[in-house]
Chain A
Amino acid sequence: MASINIMKDKCVGCKKCVNACPFNAIEIIDKKAEIKPNCTLCGSCVSSCKFNAINFVKDEVEKKDISHYKGIWIFAEQRYGKLKGVALELVGQGKKLGEELNVNVTAIVLGDNITHLGEELIAYGADEVLLMDAPWLKDFNDHIYGEIMIELIEEYKPEIVLIGATSNGRSLAPHISSTLQTGLTADCTILEIDREQRLLLQTRPAFGGNLMATIVCPDNRPQMATVRPKVFKSLKPNYDREGKIIVLPVRSQIKSFVQKIRHIDNEQGANITDADIIVSVGKGIGNANNIKLAQELSSILGGAIGATRAVVDSGWLPYSQQVGQTGKTVAPNLYIAIGISGAIQHVAGLADIETIVAINSDPEAPIFKVAHYGIVGDCKEILPLLIQELKSKM
């Protein structure tokens, strides 16, 4: 059975491993390290030891032949015949990874009336597009889309499958990976290739963004990851690029035990996961009525409105707008934090944001530690001035 053991004769009690352990599972007892029962066998300690005193015993796993898996696949999510931004970002990043591995990048699109998306995906970097177009594929459905993806992966055998970490993507991906019994890394923000071992290095935030982990899937194929929207920039489209568009024969209809009855779309501009600009409000805005100021600023800038949990719990804005650990993770180019203290659970929802602006009356507020621009002052006074100023200059 797998285990991590300390070789007591080599251990000098230096504590390096204690600090390297993300789970607090090593303790120094009588000047020797001891592994506690809450060890998760993550192996972070092994490389921290300068004395080779940590022995990571792994079980022999029967190696499968995976050499015939080739190529990079992108699940290109669309809604009503329009591609999600992350699908285009992923074909661009997939092309870069494909160049390193010397393989093609293939985009897969499922839906109704979607054949026109083939050209767009090729312009953005795909070498090949597989389309399945049928009226019963109109709405996203984890089960139906999942079963089709599984059949296609089994037939074509790609070595990497990337899916946007949207709400649909994060629900679809585990359906596919657990059926295929392969690895899946959630919500990656860095993707690289280890050329020597032909492995995808999948880096993602853990512990609410406080720790980054690089994850590999060495022995199973395909290597699967969901990728956070907006961390990769899509390529400039080139409609002269050549590529192959394959319209797949429509398979017989799949029955699902999950039935969509209706959908209620948010108002335009309310989607904070897709927004380039977010004006976000905290308790410091004072009352529900003052939120109008933030809304006005947001509409001038063409952004969406976000909120802290404190604001949502007060009923000033709906939960769909909550940013943070128990809300949504957002990655706009510009995030304006108004009257937000910057609690760790809130900041956990801010991913790779180019510019964070904070307005807070307390100069010691933690939000200033993560902000690129800060103003100490009363937001109720600053906002009207700012709005007036912007209106006059735009």
Chain B
Amino acid sequence: MKIIVCIKQVPGTNEVKMDPVTNTIIRENIESIINPFDTYAIEEAVRIKENMGAEVIGLSMGIPAAEEILREAISLGIDKGFLLSDRKFAGADTLATSYTLSLGVKKIKDFDLIICGKQASDGDTAQVGPSLAKTLGIAYVTDISKIIEINENNIRCMKITDDGYEEILLTLPALITVVKEINMPRLPSIKRMKIAQDSQVEILTFNDVEADENRLGLKGSPTQVRKTFIPIHNINNEMIEGSEKAEKLASILLGKIRRS
């Protein structure tokens, strides 16, 4: 069995600070990390490998420095990393990202399962997984919280929904996106860290894949960011004090629920 895990490099914090004088964003010295949801995707793939034998390949699209997070993924148990990196890929929205990732998948070939995180912490779109599946023409299910059974032909799993859970049977090859509930990611072992140090991440540039240039990067992105701004939360904060706090709060709560 061959499993591909999609791994995105994201900023380590989402804090956006506002410069009070210039009214602009300050983002300084932010380290990059593996997108938190993708750590569950990695762990799940490695568990399948341990249970039934599989080759697990990490795939990322990003700047050359994203090689580091693929190496980190190797220290967490994946076998090999591929990084799609080229200036021609830059400026991609979710549609162009999915297309570019699909080129990497085609290069890797003969896969049975693709695992993505539910969403990336910088964009929170949760669109790349389903879009990638559609671009490849395979079935997908989002928000998987448990894999019940997997064999050469099918995967049976639990999906978390707004109303509860659903048990789903999917024909392979397929793509799933996973939520945090699915597992508890392990820490890298010393042995794996050594292996990671010595392994090579394969870089795929524009010339290494068979791409339609019109579908890449900014050019292949139907959506454009027109502007960005920091949301202003003008909060009227009232502290409830004194000996009758609970009584005061009770009246406030009653006021709120009677009104709505």
Interface pair B224/A181, CB less than 8 Å apart? no
- The answer to whether B82 has its CB under 8 Å from any CB of chain A is no
In the assembled complex, the CB of A94 is this many whole angstroms from the nearest CB of chain B, namely 20
A142→B130 contact, CB < 8 A: yes
Per the 8 Å Cβ criterion, residues 84-118 of B in contact with A are 87-88, 90-91, 93-95, 98
Return the contact of A262 from the options B16, B141, B166 (Cβ within 8 A). B166
Closest residue of chain A to B19, judged by CB?
Answer: A19
Does A274 lie within 8 Å of B224, measured CB to CB?
no
Across the interface, do B165 and A167 meet the contact criterion of CB distance under 8 Å? no
Chain A residues closer than 8 Å to B152, beta-carbon distance: none
CA distance A40 to B126 in the complex (A): 19
Tell me the smallest distance from the CB of B144 to a CB of chain A, in Å.
Answer: 11
| CB atoms of B233 and A370 under 8 A apart | yes
Residue of B nearest to A272 (CB): B162
Asked whether A186 lies within 8 Å of B126 as measured between CB atoms, the reply is yes
Chain B 104-138: CB-based contact to A (< 8 A → 1; otherwise 0): 00000000000000000111111111110011001
Residue of A nearest to B37 (CB): A326
Residues of B within 8 A of A28 (CB): none
Decide yes or no whether A361 CB sits under 8 A from chain B: no
CB interface residues, A 251-296, toward B, < 8 Å:
256-266, 270-271, 273-274, 276-277
In the docked arrangement, what's the CA distance between A23 and B91, Å?
12
Number of contacting residues on A, CB 8 A?
Answer: 113
- State in angstroms the CA–CA spacing of A259 and B157 once bound together: 11
Using Cβ atoms and an 8 Å threshold, which residues of chain B touch A186?
Answer: 94, 123-127
A233 to chain B, nearest CB (A): 11
The chain A residue with its CB closest to the CB of B257 is: A301
Smallest CB separation, B157 vs chain A (Å):
10
Chain A residues, Cβ within 8 Å of B140 = 142, 258
Of A42-50, A95-103, A120-128, A153-161, the one contacting chain B is: A42-50
Q: In the complex, identify which listed stretch (A67-75, A104-112, A237-245, A383-391) lies at the interface while the others stay far away.
A: A383-391
Contact of B30 with A24 in the complex, beta carbons under 8 Å: yes
Distance of A37 Cα from B15 Cα, bound (Å): 22
Residue pair B121, A208 in contact (C-beta under 8 Å)? yes
Q: Roughly how many angstroms separate A3 CA and B86 CA in the complex, as a whole number?
A: 12
> How many interface contacts (CB-CB < 8 Å) are there between A and B?
306
Option from B30, B36, B167, B226 in Cβ contact (under 8 Å) with A201? B226
- In chain A, residues 18-54, which have Cβ atoms closer than 8 Å to a Cβ of chain B? 19-24, 37-44, 47-48
Q: How far is the CA of A174 from the CA of B98 in the complex (A)?
A: 10
B65 neighbours in A (Cβ, 8 Å)? 37-38
Interface: A138 (CB within 8 A) = no
Q: How far is the CA of A87 from the CA of B201 in the complex (A)?
A: 46
Contact of B163 among A16, A170, A271 (CB under 8 A): A271
Asked if B236 is at the interface (CB within 8 A of a chain A CB), the reply is yes
**When the two chains form the complex, which single residue of A143, A270, A333, A344 contacts B256, counting CB atoms closer than 8 Å?**
A333
- Shortest distance in angstroms between B23's beta carbon and chain A's nearest beta carbon? 9
**Can you name the residue of chain A whose Cβ is closest to the Cβ of B246?**
A385
0/1 per residue, B17-46, Cβ < 8 Å to A?
Answer: 001001011111010000011000000000
Binds A, one of B69-77, B187-195, B214-222: B214-222
Q: CB-nearest residue of chain B relative to A344?
A: B15
Q: How far is the CB of A125 from chain B (nearest CB, A)?
A: 21
Q: Which residues from chain A contact B162 at a C-beta distance below 8 Å?
A: 166-168, 271, 273-274
Shortest distance between the CB of B91 and any CB in chain A (Å): 3
Say yes or no for B209: interface residue by CB 8 A criterion: no
Cβ of B5 to closest chain A Cβ, rounded Å: 18
Contact at A214–B166, with CB atoms within 8 Å? no
B211 at the interface (CB under 8 A from A): no
- Which residues of the other chain, B, contact A374 by a CB distance below 8 angstroms? 237-240
Name the interface residues of B140-178: CB closer than 8 Å to any CB of A: 140-143, 145, 156, 160-171, 174
How many angstroms from the CA of A143 to the CA of B181 in the assembled complex?
25
Residue numbers in B under 8 Å from A210 (CB-CB): 14-16, 230-231
Looking at A79, A210, A260, the one whose CB has the most chain B CB atoms below 10 A away is A210
Contact of A170 among B126, B171, B235 (CB under 8 A): B126
Show 16 A/B contacts (Cβ-Cβ < 8 Å), sorted by A.
Answer: A142-B141, A167-B161, A171-B126, A182-B222, A207-B121, A210-B230, A211-B229, A213-B225, A215-B223, A220-B222, A263-B165, A274-B162, A302-B257, A369-B237, A386-B249, A394-B254
Name B's A-contacting residues (CB within 8 A). Answer: 11, 13-16, 19, 22, 24-28, 30, 36-37, 63-65, 87-88, 90-91, 93-95, 98, 121-131, 134-135, 138-143, 145, 156, 160-171, 174, 179-181, 214, 217-219, 221-231, 233, 235-241, 245-247, 249-254, 256-257, 260
- Other 17 A-B pairs with CB < 8 A, given A184-B223, A186-B127, A257-B174: A174-B129, A210-B231, A211-B25, A212-B229, A216-B223, A216-B226, A258-B141, A259-B168, A263-B167, A266-B163, A271-B163, A322-B180, A345-B14, A370-B233, A385-B246, A388-B246, A394-B254
When A and B form their complex, which 10 residue pairs have the shortest distance between CB atoms, in order from nearest?
A41-B91, A19-B24, A183-B222, A385-B246, A183-B223, A210-B16, A389-B250, A257-B139, A208-B14, A174-B130
